Amino acid sequence: MSEPLDVLSEALAGTDGFTELRYHDKSTRTVSVEKAKVEATGYRRRGGVGVRVLEGGRWGSASTSRLDVESVRKAAARARNAARANAGKTGEKLTELPSVELARGEFDQPGLEEAAGRTLEERIVMASELEAGMRKAGSRVSSASCSYNEIFEHKAIVTSDGARAAFRLVRPELRLQAVAERDGQLSSGFESVGATGGWDCLFRAGSGQSLAEKAARTAIDLLSARHPEGGKATVILAPSIVGLLVHEAIGHTTEADFVQAGSVAAGKLGTRVASELVTLVDSGSSEFYPGAGGTIPVDDEGVVAGRTTIIDAGILTSYLHNRQSAAKFGVTPTGNARAWEYSDEPLIRMRNTYLEPGSSTLEEMIASTEDGYLLDGPRNGQADATGEFMFAVQEARRIERGKLGELVRGVTISGIAFEVMSTVDAVSDTFRWDLGSGYCGKGQPAKVDAGGPYVRCRATIGGVQTG
């Protein structure tokens, strides 16, 4: 098989007008272990070339699973016909894409050789030992599971206006779940990590066994936890929750396609939307330390994936753009166009989204909280156009008179993101990426990461009402 860049470049030579050719080969290896049994291993490979053309102000797309010049040219012809099928329809036409520094070169990410050199047996042993570690952590643990994924990606992008870039990367992910049981009552503890890079990145914050023990301990402790009372509360959010909050409830509202549709961030550039302690960034790189799970050197339009400050000291300063939205807004594309697989069309997506650290220590923040909760470990979360969000929280610990107290279960938090961010009165001086095992959903999945420091603010706790 020819090198993808060479095939794409040769195929491009036979096309007219704006054409974007994107080779994407993705392979995934999986191992899952549950209740002392290796449940399954798997290998999945999907690859091909996605073609996008701009014809008469309309986009047309097509794809082929075959990497050869003839197949790619045929796909380009189908894409052009597809664009023409929309030619007579009403609506604004895209006449020109903005000029931008397009990537040229090869940008392989670290960890590839280490991951590729690992045997299947090594992966099975690692997952089996972690699953066993959870079961051994306490007699109350009734079952445990460990799943490990390794995603290898090879991309090459060539456009008729000058992009010619390629890169390969690997993203390992680990998920651990322990279930504890007492008198027929069940509870669960969940830990996960994900990175772009090798196992040194995956386990940068702690060993696999420490994660296994934590999942087991959480499941056991939650057996005796009670439900909290619902209502407005002071909360200290751990980096995992901060990451989810800034991704789901703020980041999405600043994606320029959503802004154009009327999200709550529309028309707010230059205005205060959060406390002055809040600075929010989305970056294609792994800031602070290597391995963030949403790292990409180049986006799927061939634009260098840079660093965008979305909120600067509480002021909304930028939206996230692809080339089309940047043309509409008269700004430079921010490198946020991403496609999940070769046949998907690039959409505006986040990469690594984070809040900048502040100057408080976590200890100071807890000590100065009279009544509240320390929240860690998001189970999942959603937000909408208004910025209203809801996240389930695995570990919620009471804070009373400046001291950490009992663990409570079944906690969710909710609020309007910009309002909640306006109540931020303390930000810790530490930083952690903590969403690397997560996927963002927006029609297509996307690997993202998010994180930040500890943040204190006010939000609504969903809990039990007594009457």
- Restricting to residues 87-126, name those near another protein by CB under 8 A: 89-92, 120-121, 124
Closest CA to 222 of 141, 292, 283, 303: 141
The pair of three-digit structure tokens given for residue 144, joined into one six-digit string: 């445990």
Please report how close the Cβ of residue 386 comes to another protein at its closest, in angstroms. Answer: 5
- The residue (of 40 and 367) whose beta carbon lies closer to another protein is 40
Range 10-43 burial, b when 16+ CB lie within 10 A, else e: ebbeebeebbbbbbbbbebbbbbbbeeeeeeeee
Q: How far apart are CA 26 and CA 56, in angstroms?
A: 32
- The residue (of 16 and 229) whose beta carbon lies closer to another protein is 229
- The residue (of 90 and 370) whose beta carbon lies closer to another protein is 90
Closest CA to 402 of 363, 368, 360, 361: 368
Please report how close the Cβ of residue 387 comes to another protein at its closest, in angstroms. Answer: 9
- The residue (of 63 and 286) whose beta carbon lies closer to another protein is 63
Using CB under 8 A, which residues numbered 415 to 444 contact another protein? 415-416, 443
Using CB under 8 A, which residues numbered 399 to 418 contact another protein? 409-412, 414-416
Using CB under 8 A, which residues numbered 313 to 342 contact another protein? none
The only residue of 182, 226, 232, 403 in contact with another protein, by rule CB under 8 A:
232
Pairing of strands 371-383, 352-355: unpaired
The only residue of 14, 105, 231, 405 in contact with another protein, by rule CB under 8 A:
231
- The residue (of 49 and 195) whose beta carbon lies closer to another protein is 49
Please report how close the Cβ of residue 271 comes to another protein at its closest, in angstroms. Answer: 12
8 A C-beta contact, residue 407 and residue 396: yes
Sole window of 206-214, 350-358, 360-368, 375-383 interacting with another protein (rule: CB under 8 A):
375-383
Helical (H) or strand (E) element with 258: helix 256-261
Give residues with Cβ within 8 angstroms of 392, minimum separation 6. Answer: 378, 379, 380, 381, 411, 412
Residue 142 in the binding site for another protein (CB under 8 A): yes
The only residue of 386, 400, 429, 441 in contact with another protein, by rule CB under 8 A:
386
The pair of three-digit structure tokens given for residue 250, joined into one six-digit string: 């703020």
Residue 257 in the binding site for another protein (CB under 8 A): yes
Range 321-336 burial, b when 16+ CB lie within 10 A, else e: bbbbbbbebeebbbbb
Sole window of 52-60, 148-156, 163-171, 423-431 interacting with another protein (rule: CB under 8 A):
52-60
Q: How far apart are CA 338 and CA 333, in angstroms?
A: 13
Give residues with Cβ within 8 angstroms of 239, minimum separation 6. Answer: 430, 431, 432, 433, 434, 451, 452, 453, 454
Residue 379 in the binding site for another protein (CB under 8 A): yes
Please report how close the Cβ of residue 162 comes to another protein at its closest, in angstroms. Answer: 22
Which spans in 85-149 are helix H? 112-116, 120-136
Please report how close the Cβ of residue 402 comes to another protein at its closest, in angstroms. Answer: 26
Residue 380 in the binding site for another protein (CB under 8 A): yes
The only residue of 230, 306, 402, 445 in contact with another protein, by rule CB under 8 A:
230
Q: How many residues does the chain have?
A: 467
Using CB under 8 A, which residues numbered 260 to 319 contact another protein? 260-264, 266
| Residue 245 DSSP symbol | I
Place of tokens 């663990």: 407
The only residue of 5, 9, 10, 47 in contact with another protein, by rule CB under 8 A:
47
Place of tokens 């946020």: 336
Kindly calculate the radius of gyration of the chain based on its CA atoms and give it in whole angstroms: 23
Sole window of 45-53, 149-157, 201-209, 239-247 interacting with another protein (rule: CB under 8 A):
45-53
Distances (CA, A) of 341 to 32, 49, 110, 125, 256: 24, 9, 21, 30, 22
Using CB under 8 A, which residues numbered 345 to 364 contact another protein? 345
Closest CA to 143 of 220, 222, 30, 208: 220
Give the x-and-dash track for 163-202 against another protein (CB under 8 A). ----------------x-x--xxxxx--------------
Determine the size of the site formed for another protein (CB under 8 A).
Answer: 93
Using CB under 8 A, which residues numbered 63 to 92 contact another protein? 63-68, 71, 78-79, 81-83, 85-86, 89-92
Using CB under 8 A, which residues numbered 24 to 43 contact another protein? 34-35, 37-38, 40-43
Residue 258 in the binding site for another protein (CB under 8 A): yes
Please report how close the Cβ of residue 44 comes to another protein at its closest, in angstroms. Answer: 5
Beta strand extents in 209-356 (DSSP E only): 231-237, 280-283, 307-312, 315-316, 337-338, 347-348, 352-355
The only residue of 117, 270, 330, 467 in contact with another protein, by rule CB under 8 A:
467
